[in-house]
Amino acid sequence: MMRRQKIVQTFNERCSEYDSWFSNNLLFEIELAALQSVQTPLPSPKLEIGIGPGHFATHLQVDIGIDPAISPLALSKKKGITVICSTGEKLPIMPDIF
């Protein structure tokens, strides 16, 4: 199995564990605060590549998320984010949109 496939498989198999990592996590809170402090407003639609379970996207009002792992994408979708199963190297989106 290729390295990328093994990584994706791990995120699919351990999705709930990965999702729970964000709860009460100081590192997540610090990174989120840093992103929220950026004063450059981004127009919609907003895209996050590597969205995972959607914790950053939820707080940053991201509209669309891309990730190769299906299980974390399902969690993002439950949070109201439009999701696409893909990778940053193979964006299935017209570049002018973002």
Instruction: Please tell me the predicted confidence (pLDDT) of residue 97.
Output: 72
Tell me the pTM: 0.84
* Residue-level pLDDT at 1: 58
Integer Cα distance of 58 and 23 in angstroms: 13
Query: What pLDDT shows up at residue 96?
Result: 73
Residue pLDDT, tens place only, 34-91: 999 987 887 888 999 999 999 999 999 999 999 999 999 999 999 999 999 998 888 8
pLDDT of 92 reads: 80
Tell me which of 9 and 42 has the higher pLDDT. Answer: 9
8/41: higher pLDDT = 8
Residue boundaries of the structural domains of the chain: 3-93
* CATH code of the region 3-93: 3.40.50.150
Residue 33 neighbours by CB distance under 10 Å: 10
Token couple for 97: 């949109």
Specify the 3-state DSSP secondary structure of 83. strand
3-13 and 70-78 helices cross at what angle (nearest 10)? 40
